[in-house]
Structure formats: C-alpha cells, structure tokens
Structure 1
Amino acid sequence: MATKTASTAAFDWAFVPARPGWPRRMARLARQHPAGLFGLIVLVLFVVLGLFGEQLAPYPADELSTGTPLQGPSLSHPFGLNQLGQDVFSRIVSGARISFIIAFWAVFLGAGSGAFLGILGGYFGRWIDYIVQRSGEAFAAFPGLVLFLMLRTAFGPNLKTIIISIGIGALFGGNRILRGQTIIERNQIYVEAARAVGCSEWRIFMRHVLPNVLPLVVVIMSGAIGAAILAESGLAFLGLGPTEASWGRDMSGTNLSIARTGYWHVVVFPGIAISLVVLGSNLLGDALRDIWDPRLRK
C-alpha cells in the first residue's frame, strides 16, 4: 500500500506543468491587454524624451530662424516651424523634460504619499484619520489656482513653485477614495480570521489589506500623471508656466492666434503630445489594475 501511494505521488508530480518563463508570461499579458501595452510604450517613450530629449532634438529648442517662419511640415522639419522660425519637433522633444519632472514629483511624492496616508488613516482610524481628513478639507477650501498664486508670490515664478503646488494637489487628490476602500477591506472576514490566528495589526495591514487596495492606488497614480501634465499645460497656457520650452507654452498666446489663421501645425502637434501621454498613462493604469487585482485573477 505504501509502495502504491509513493508511485502515485511520483506519477502526479511528473505531469505537473512547469511554470512558463517570464518572456512567455509577458507576451501573454501583452496579448491579453493590448491597450495597456500601448500605454506602456507611450510612457517609456515619454520617459526617454524627458531624460534625453535635449540631446535627441535635431535643433536647440530656443534656436531662432532654423528655417522660414511658419513653414509647414517637411522632411527637414517634420512638424514645421513656429512664428519665430523654431523647429516645432525639437521643442516638443525638449519640452517633454518639463512635463516629465512635474509628473515625476507629483506622482511619487504627491500621489504616492497621499495614497499611503489615505490607506493608513482608513485602516487605523482615530487621530491618524482625523489629521489626514481635516488636512484634506482645509486644502479643499483653497482652489488650486489660488494656492499656486500664493506660492508664486512667496517663492517666485519658477519650476519649483509649480512642482510644489501640483504636488500638494496630488497629495489630497485621491486619499478619500482609498480611505473608503480601506475601511471596506478592514471589515472583511479574512481580516477577522487573521486577527483570530494572532496576526498583528501591522502584518494584517501590510500582507492582507494593502495588496487588495494596491490596484486602486495604481489607477490613482496613473491618473495623477495625466493630471499633472494637464495642470502644467493649463498654467503655461495662462502665461504662468515655466519659461523653458514646454508643451503648454507652445499652445498658448500668440501660437493659438496664429493657428486660427491656418497654421494649424503650430499647436496641433504639442496638443497631440499631451493627449498621447495622458491617454497612455490612463490605459496603463487600467491594465495594471486588471493584472494586480486579486479579485480579477482567473
């Protein structure tokens, strides 16, 4: 009987399929989530341009008279020239740096910290939750533009002021949603079962509650990327943005007036760049939510 049991166990283990390697798993995820793959490609390109855009641009972003002003797209200037004779393609490639810096700080310092505070307050409650929620309510009393103007007066019109104002907005942007989701997870049966077997509150928080809330954190942080880029573009459109080349600046002021006279390429290509990055971040966030959410795994 013992021999039969041993042989049966050996037979079962022999036919257990091996786990596919990571290239096959990545290829399967790409087939299952083509929109997420598109978003990943867009964001990787955005990061590369943000880090090395000034070196990859065929012309300096602020160089004047690289050709005939307001010339349309051509082989030497794929996106045409603006009214100052600056190459639009070079300005888009170089302008990705400003959007990348603002999005990086807003997401990883603003949205990331705010997400952790919201989850922490929702799980532990008491004075932690009170401080986080009252701080969010105090921030909601100040419109974003008013807060930016106050910081601009205090610190001056520079890139640091824009980063601080957008980062504060991202800090309290989604913590209420995460707080509510954490409260729901905190009252689930599996949390009570973990307490019953003697798990500490910190272990339950890190090993059980946080993984179930993490997909929502990914969606909020991916949305923060697009929101940060749109916020910088809106400030630049109003003439309050950075003085360096940026996508929002190329869509504002004189450029917008010139585009109405028929020179569409001056503002269309910067607008496409903004739209692609915002769309890519949202698509990637939705795909990561579907992949990482334990409730959606098959």
Structure 2
Amino acid sequence: MTQHAAGAAVPKRYNPRLEMYKGIWRRLRKNKSAVIGGGIVIFFILLAIFGPMLTPIDPNATDITNKNQPPSADHWFGTDNYGRDMFTRIIHGAKLTLIVGFLSVMIGGVVGVIFGIVAGYYGGWVDTIIMRIMDVLLAFPGILLALAIVSVLGGSLTNMIIAIGIFSVPAFARIVRGSALSVRKLEYIDAMKALGASDLRIIFKHILPNVTSPIIVQATLRIATAVLTASGLSFLGLGAQPPAPEWGAMLSAGRTFMHDSPHMVLIPGIMIVIVVLAFNIFGDGLRDALDPKMNK
C-alpha cells in the first residue's frame, strides 16, 4: 500500500494566486486591442531605454546648412529649423515623455492612495476633511490646475512633474476611498480588530492588497493623461525648456514652419497620439481583465 502510494503521481498543489494571474492573462490576451496597445507601450518603453543606442547623433547638434529638410535616407524624420536630426530627437524625447508620465503618476498615486485609504478606513471627520480637499482640487480642470501650479513654481521639467502629480492625487484618492469603504465593512476586518491587530497592519496587510486592481488600472489610464498634459504644458513653454527634445516642445517649435516643413509638426504630434492612445486602450483592456465579475 505504501509502495503504491509512493509510486502514484503527486497532485499539483493548488495556488490560488497563480491561478488568478493566469485568469487575468487569459482575459487580457482575448482582448486584441488591449494586446496591441500593450505591445505599443512596451515598444516605446524599450525605445526610451535602448533607443539612444540606435543613433550616435547628438539630439542637440545643429547643422544650419541642412535645416528644415524633409524625411530622407540620411534623416529618416527630416531635420528641424536648426538642422537637428528629428529621428534622434524623437527617440530621446520618448525617454523624457515616459519619465514625466511615470514619475508624475507615481507621485500622484502614492499620495492619493495614502489619502484615500486613510479617509476610507477611519471615516468621520478625517474622511470629510480629506475628501473636501480632493473636491476643491477636482473643481479645477486638470490642465488648468497644472498650468496654475507650474506658473507659480516656474517652467521646468521637475516642476511639470510635480504639477501633474498634484492634479493626479484626487483621482487616486476617490477610487481608493471607495474600495477601502467597502473592504473595511467585511467581517474578517472586524475579526482582525478583535484580535488586536494594529491599524497599520490592517491597512497594509488586508485593505491595500484588495484595492490594488483599481490602482493599477487608474495608474495606466492616468499615464496617458499625464503624457498629454505634459505635452500641452511644454507646447505652452511651461514644461521642458529648449533645447530638450520633448515632444510637446518640438510641436511648439515646429508650428512656425508647419506650412513649409509639415514634418516638424506631424511627427511629434503623431508620436503623442500613438502613446496616449496605446495607454488608454491597454488600460481599458486591463480594467476588463481585472474585473472580478468576468471571472469564469
């Protein structure tokens, strides 16, 4: 009997977390548009990391004799009004654009998640004060709030990241608060309190893991908004300053020559549209994949 048991195949141990990830991947893979969007996002991330290795040209190197040249074999995306290679500047600009998008959303996400969890978990006057502050921030359109903050702090890449991060805080706070309110009413949270668990342990060990999915989805969608806002601020001269190869700044510089050299406007504009659209499509697909109601 013992030998038979030893020779029998040992059943694989069920791992609920692994099965959950597999289910998310299966649902995400079925969404073709989300897969395409995710592929484009990964492409631009890799381009931002390894792209500068593809071209030895300095993105700020000028060549007045070749200014405003259309796309050609020597300059795939043409040159700008200073003779700078547009292809090189687009590649280096991808790094700046994604850095602004990720860092600003990271700042807004961390601060917003803290405010949202504290408001949802404690409730009462704490919830009232925090959410009224969030309501004041939400009363302003995002681009106008970022514009006001950058106007006070001064135009620079760092200040632009801070401004976009600040106007991203309310979106995270409201989503996390709603999830925290529903989770804190569950019976096992009351059981943890009865067992003497501290508030920090309950928040970080039991509430935060349950609100991770909406945070991830919101962060993905928010990066698209951050990229668009950053490009708008740079276009207005309040973001990345020349000669930084930021796509919004390139778009602003090219508008003067858009009739004679339309590539100076079209190429950075198309890059912005592709990145924003990719993050939005991928975020929508990720939201569907992480939705518990779609579990089979």
Determine the structure 1 residue equivalent to 2:249.
Answer: 249
Deviation at 1:106, TM superposition (A): 0.9
Establish whether residue 264 from structure 1 lines up as the match of residue 274 from structure 2: no
Separation (CA, whole Å) in 1 of partners of 2:270 and 2:41: 14
Q: 1:27 to 1:137 in 2, by over 3 A?
A: closer
Deviation at 1:29, TM superposition (A): 5.4
Contact (CA 8 Å) 2:156, 2:238: kept in 1 or not? no
Q: Any idea what SS the aligned residue of 1:242 has?
A: coil
Which amino acid in 1 is paired with 2:157? L
Separation (CA, whole Å) in 2 of partners of 1:172 and 1:194: 26
Mapping of residues 3-82 of structure 1, within 5 Å: 28=26, 31-65=29-63, 68-82=66-80
Determine the structure 2 residue equivalent to 1:7.
Answer: none
Mapping of residues 129-140 of structure 1, within 5 Å: 129-140=127-138
Mapping of residues 111-130 of structure 1, within 5 Å: 111-130=109-128
Determine the structure 2 residue equivalent to 1:6.
Answer: none
Contact (CA 8 Å) 1:112, 1:221: kept in 2 or not? no
Mapping of residues 217-296 of structure 1, within 5 Å: 217-243=215-241, 244-253=244-253, 255-259=254-258, 261-296=259-294
Deviation digits for residues 150-194 of structure 1 (CA, Å, limit 9, x no counterpart): 111xxxx3322112111111122332233234324444xxx1365
Q: Gaps spanning 5+ residues in structure 2: where?
A: none
Separation (CA, whole Å) in 1 of partners of 2:80 and 2:288: 42
Determine the structure 2 residue equivalent to 1:150.
Answer: 152
Q: Any idea what SS the aligned residue of 1:73 has?
A: coil
Deviation at 1:270, TM superposition (A): 0.8
Establish whether residue 195 from structure 1 lines up as the match of residue 190 from structure 2: yes
Separation (CA, whole Å) in 1 of partners of 2:229 and 2:64: 30
Separation (CA, whole Å) in 2 of partners of 1:297 and 1:252: 46
Calculate percent identity across the aligned residue pairs: 34
Contact (CA 8 Å) 1:106, 1:166: kept in 2 or not? yes
Contact (CA 8 Å) 2:160, 2:238: kept in 1 or not? no
Q: 1:130 to 1:234 in 2, by over 3 A?
A: same
Deviation at 1:147, TM superposition (A): 1.8
Separation (CA, whole Å) in 1 of partners of 2:226 and 2:189: 39
Contact (CA 8 Å) 2:106, 2:165: kept in 1 or not? no
Larger CA deviation: 225-234 vs 121-130: 121-130
Deviation at 1:67, TM superposition (A): 6.8
Separation (CA, whole Å) in 2 of partners of 1:205 and 1:41: 34
Separation (CA, whole Å) in 2 of partners of 1:295 and 1:119: 23
What TM-score results when the alignment is normalised by the length of structure 2? 0.78
Deviation at 1:103, TM superposition (A): 1.4
Determine the structure 1 residue equivalent to 2:162.
Answer: 164
Which amino acid in 2 is paired with 1:93? I
The match for 2:86 among 85, 88, 93 is: 88
- Aligned pair count reads 282
Which amino acid in 2 is paired with 1:87? D
Q: Gaps spanning 5+ residues in structure 1: where?
A: 4-9
Deviation at 1:52, TM superposition (A): 4.0
Deviation at 1:93, TM superposition (A): 0.3
Contact (CA 8 Å) 1:226, 1:277: kept in 2 or not? yes
Deviation at 1:115, TM superposition (A): 2.7
RMSD of Structure 2 on Structure 1 (CA): 3.6
